[in-house]
Amino acid sequence: MSPFVTPETRSEIPATKPGAAATVTGRKRKSLPLSGRIGLVMVLFWVAVALVGPLIAPHAPGAVVSNKVFGPMSLRFPMGTDYLGRDMLSRVIFGAQYTVGLALAAAVMASASGTVLGLLATISGRWVEEILSRLLDALICVPSTIFALVMVAAFGSSLPFLLLTAALSYVAGAFRIARSLAVNLSVQEYVQAARVRGEGRLHIACVEMLPNMIHPMLADFGLRFMFIVLMLSGLSFLGLGVQPPAADLGSLIRENLSGLDNGAPAVLLPAIAVATLTIGVNLLIDSLPQRGDDA
């Protein structure tokens, strides 16, 4: 999986009919298909690792605990040791915290502001809509990784800036999705009925439209989270993301790259960690719309 895939190609999948999505809440939830359950388990596992992992990690992330570099898996070091002889298990646990935490925060920012802007564009007059759309169209033209590189080159690589860069790269896509959902909803007869009734724009946006776009937006949020994980890992792999001594999963791969020749677990395991996290989210998201469809 490459971090250069744009989310727009994928995000069409979860957009369900607004009515179909809403019926799910009205009745008892159907059970997830098997792939969805596997995805859910994988996602929950990584969230749990990020939340409680640091409490149970055997060593501090920076502590050099072994004099053997690129050590194999053993009872004492279940994931081996890295290029300085640090415990890989502890490194991965703390790395996961960075990756999951940063990506989650950035995805929340991107999806939330995208939804708000999308609704704003739909209910406001033509000019606001035109300006917002063109501005975000311009943003969407810039490849997200190039954009991130420029941001890091210009402002350095601090955590808040990484967060902002990731959120900014993906807000345009979320805006597009939210706007197309909102435009579809705005011609629904119940929205027209609200307009004829004389309801304010804010009421129409928040009460009539928002509840009916939450489900597809949540699915979109999951996709965006996945792409941000990949982008941040990619940046860190290039050495532009999370800076040492802290490390996310991407930087773990980079710093242990020299162990690739002898197949050290130190380079393979963080890569597997990124893969399971993103595949898990992907499986979960893909199985979500089916629940709405067969309603």
Partner 1 sequence: MSSHQVRVSNLRVVTSDAADRAAVLVKDVSFTIPRGEVLALIGESGSGKTTVALALLGHTRAGCRIAGGSIEVAGTDVLALGSRQILDHRRRRVAYIAQSAAAAFNPARRIMDQVTETTVVGRLMTRNAAREKAVELFRSLALPDPHRIGERYPHQVSGGQLQRLLAAMALMSDPELVIFDEPTTALDVTTQVEVLREFKRLIQERGTTALYVSHDLAVVAQLADRVVVLNSGEVRESGPTMRVLGTPTDSYTRSLVAAATGREAVCALRREVAIAASVGVSGRGDLSEPLEPLLSVDGLTAGYGKVDAEGFPSAIALRDVSLVVKRGGALGVIGESGSGKSTLARALAGIVAPAFGTLRLEGQLLEARMERRPRKQLRRIQIVFQHADAALNPAHTVAHILSRPLKLYFGMHGTERNERIARLLDLVHLDRSMAARRPPELSGGQKQRVNLARALAAEPALILCDEVTSALDAAVGAAILELMAELRRELGLSYVFISHDVSAIRAICDEVTVLYAGQVVDSGPLRRLDDPAAHPYTRLLVSCVPEMRSGWLEDAPATLGQLGTARLDASR
155 binds partner 1 (CB under 8 A): no
User: Mask: binding to partner 1, 174-213, rule CB under 8 A, as x and -?
Assistant: --------------xxxxxxxxxxxx-------xx--xx-
164 binds partner 1 (CB under 8 A): no
Least gap, CB of 294 to partner 1 (angstroms)? 7
**What is the rounded distance in angstroms from the CA atom of residue 86 to the CA atom of residue 60?**
9
Residue among 13, 22, 73, 108 that touches partner 1 (CB under 8 A): 22
150 binds partner 1 (CB under 8 A): no
Helix axes 144-155, 159-186, angle to 10 degrees: 140
Nearer to partner 1, 25 or 158 (CB): 25
Q: Describe the chain by its helix, strand, coil percentages, rounded to 5.
A: 75, 0, 25
Listed ranges 16-24, 35-43, 176-184, 242-250: which one lies at the site for partner 1 (CB under 8 A): 16-24
Least gap, CB of 207 to partner 1 (angstroms)? 8
Residues with Cβ within 8 Å of residue 106, at least 6 apart in sequence? 163, 166, 167, 170, 228, 232
Query: What backbone phi and psi angles, to 5 degrees, belong to 14?
Result: -80, -5
DSSP H helical ranges for 156-295: 159-186, 189-197, 201-203, 210-237, 249-255, 265-293
**What is the rounded distance in angstroms from the CA atom of residue 46 to the CA atom of residue 268?**
17
Listed ranges 19-27, 63-71, 83-91, 269-277: which one lies at the site for partner 1 (CB under 8 A): 19-27
Nearer to partner 1, 189 or 261 (CB): 189
Where residue 246 falls (left for φ over 0; alpha for ψ -120 to 50; beta otherwise) is beta
Contact 231, 169 (CB under 8 A): yes
270 binds partner 1 (CB under 8 A): no
Least gap, CB of 10 to partner 1 (angstroms)? 25
158 binds partner 1 (CB under 8 A): no
In the region spanning residues 23 to 52, those forming contacts with partner 1, defined by CB under 8 A, are 23, 25-26
Of residues 225, 210, 215, 214, the one with CA closest to residue 122 = 210
Least gap, CB of 210 to partner 1 (angstroms)? 9
Nearer to partner 1, 23 or 74 (CB): 23
Q: Three-class SS of residue 81?
A: strand
124 binds partner 1 (CB under 8 A): no
Would you tell me which residues interact with partner 1 (CB under 8 A)? Answer: 18-19, 22-23, 25-26, 188-199, 207-208, 211-212, 294-295
